[in-house]
Amino acid sequence: MQAGEWRSAYLRLHRKAALKRLEAPFVYHISRDELYEIDEGGLDFLLACDGTRTGEDLAPDPAFVEYCRTEGLLETLPCPDAISIRVNEPMIPSLRYLEMQLLHKCNLECLHCYLGPLQQDCLPLADALGIAREFSSMGGLRLLISGGEPLLHRDLQAFLAGTEDLGLRRVLLSNGTLINPRNINSLMVEEVQFSLDGWIEGHDMIRGAGTFERTMNGVRTVLEAGLQISFATMIHKGNLHEFDKMRDFIEGAGAIEWGIDVPALAGSLMDHGDLSVPYEQAAPLMAYAFGGGYHGSSDGYACGRHLLTIFPDGRAAKCGFYRDRPLGDARHGLKECWMKLDPIPLRRLECGDCSVLDECAGGCRFRAPSSLAPDPFMCALHGRAR
């Protein structure tokens, strides 16, 4: 369609776009995980783009329409085709990222797993869908589907089908060993994030012999299906010299993100402390990471200001490390749980006057010795001795 021909076409919000009221109005491109801030006028216009009116009927700002079409936020149709468009009531702070641990059962027994010994608890399908729907109604962006190993959840396929039209970017967090050509068609999420904790030797060292190749088979299967992929890596003593090999593979695979972190001393790692690496030695490896994260600080607050974790029993907490400090039961109201969270302003931290605080962003509050203490790993990363 040539420029300006959209005037006689019916305008409709793209099927991969969603309107979100966060701290300001946004259009969210689900496939690209991109937010576009707009004003109230732009929001009202896009709410009217439900496929029943032409560009001439709507009389919009031509430059705005052209921009939205170029960015894949608007569709032009030759005939009317109506959709229902909704936008949430704003909440401050906004809940943007929800990690849903569907179960804690796993097919691996990783030496560094922060969950500790395997458990059999499982979030029922009806509860999981109810929480996901409420998250969507609150303006949520990314639904992080995790475990344990989520592929072991008996109703995973039904859960994915039930969340397909919620205006969320669904990210499946998996070890990859159970993904294969037989089940890939039922895993049509927007992104699969693989745990890759080293190259062959380093990965197998903490996840079990043969797991590296099984994970690679899962990666290849997902790539052949055309899904976006990302990776998450924990630094440990067995992978310190494998980051170049991981980088070459991850970049070559076209990954959109590589998250790297130092595991907190929790769960199974409590019994395998010899895997830990001195923070000063681990810090330089963070330079390999790329892409955006979802659990960092924002707007002058410490980590987790826009994140919540749901456990298999329905309880909600600040993140997966705070299982013993729940905010409530999300099955009885996700919003009520979220409103109980008390974000920590960066300037309240003991290191609130540090010259690199804005860059450091306070690090991980669980890894810090206390809720207001400096994160020793971030101090090492930024060359601040503690």
Domain of 34? Answer: 5-77
Other Cβ atoms closer than 10 A to 18: 25
One domain for residues 338 and 354 = no
One domain for residues 196 and 51 = no
CATH number for the domain that contains residue 339: 3.20.20.70
- 3 state DSSP class of 334: helix
pLDDT tens digits for 190-238?
Answer: 999 999 999 999 999 999 999 999 999 999 999 999 999 999 999 999 9
One domain for residues 72 and 56 = yes
Q: Is the pTM of this model over 0.85?
A: yes
- Establish if 128 belongs to a structural domain: yes
Alpha carbon distance 176, 190 (integer Å) = 15
pLDDT on residue 64: 95
Which amino acid appears at position 371 of this protein? S
One domain for residues 205 and 322 = yes
One domain for residues 19 and 160 = no
- Establish if 317 belongs to a structural domain: yes
Nearest residue to 20 (alpha-carbon basis) of 86, 65, 70, 66:
86
- 3 state DSSP class of 170: strand
One domain for residues 318 and 177 = yes
What one-character-per-residue DSSP string does 66-112 give? HHHHHTT-EEEESS--------PPP-SS---EEEEE-B---S---TT
Alpha carbon distance 11, 69 (integer Å) = 10
Residue position matching structure tokens 């993100």: 257
pLDDT on residue 265: 77
One domain for residues 154 and 236 = yes
Residues 6+ apart with CB under 8 A from 268: 109, 110, 111, 112, 113, 114, 115, 116, 117
One domain for residues 48 and 123 = no
One domain for residues 59 and 171 = no
- Establish if 90 belongs to a structural domain: no
One domain for residues 275 and 377 = no
* Residue 329 phi, psi (nearest 5): -105, 115
Q: Say what the alpha-carbon torsion angle 321, 311, 258, 194 is, to the nearest 10 degrees.
A: 130
One domain for residues 293 and 378 = no
pLDDT on residue 59: 80
- Establish if 368 belongs to a structural domain: yes
Alpha carbon distance 226, 244 (integer Å) = 25
**Count: domains in the chain:** 3
Which amino acid appears at position 351 of this protein? C
pLDDT tens digits for 115-139?
Answer: 877 777 899 999 999 999 999 999 9
Q: Is 78 exposed, middle or buried (0-12, 13-18, 19+ CB in 10 A)?
A: exposed
CA distances to 54, 119, 137 from 221, rounded to whole Å, are 42, 29, 33
CA distances to 6, 45, 131, 205, 341 from 9, rounded to whole Å, are 5, 15, 38, 59, 46
One domain for residues 127 and 249 = yes
- Establish if 190 belongs to a structural domain: yes
Per-residue pLDDT of the chain (386 residues), as tens digits, is 566 689 999 999 999 999 999 999 999 999 999 999 999 999 999 999 999 999 999 988 999 999 999 999 999 999 999 999 999 999 999 999 999 999 999 999 998 888 877 777 899 999 999 999 999 999 999 999 999 999 999 999 999 999 999 999 999 999 999 999 999 999 989 999 999 999 999 999 999 999 999 999 999 999 999 999 999 999 999 999 999 999 999 999 999 999 999 988 777 777 888 899 999 999 999 999 999 765 565 778 998 899 999 999 999 999 999 999 999 999 999 999 999 999 899 999 999 999 999 888 899 998 999 999 999 999 999 988 65
Alpha carbon distance 289, 310 (integer Å) = 26
